[in-house]
Amino acid sequence: PIALDAGPLRFPTEIAVIGFPQRDPWNLETLADQDAVFEGKFGRKCLQPGKLGPPMGYRPRSWPAVDALVHDASTLGGNSGSVVLSVGSGAAVGLHFAGFHRKHNHCVAMRELARDPRVRDLLAFENAPAADDPWSAHWLADQELQPQQPVRRGPLELTVSFGPPRILREPQ
The whole-angstrom separation of Cα 38 and Cα 31 is: 11
Q: pLDDT grade, residue 153 (50/70/90)?
A: low
The tens digit of pLDDT for each residue in 107-128 reads: 999 998 888 887 887 888 888 8
Confidence category of residue 95, pLDDT binned at 50, 70, 90: very high
pLDDT at residue 157, rounded to an integer: 64
The mean pLDDT of 140-165, rounded to a whole number, is 58
How far is residue 107's CA from residue 119's CA, in Å, rounded to a whole number?
16
Contact status, residue 134 vs residue 114, Cβ threshold 8 Å = no
Spell out where the chain has E strands: 4-5, 13-19, 46-58, 66-71, 83-86, 92-100, 104-109, 125-126
pLDDT at 51: 96
How many CA atoms, within 13 angstroms, populate the side-chain half-sphere of residue 61?
2
Q: Which phi and psi angles does 14 have, rounded to 5°?
A: -75, 135
* For residue 156, pLDDT beyond 90: no
In this predicted model, what pLDDT tens digit does every residue of 57-68 receive, in sequence order? 777 666 667 778
Reported pTM: 0.73
Evaluate if residue 148 carries a pLDDT over 60: no
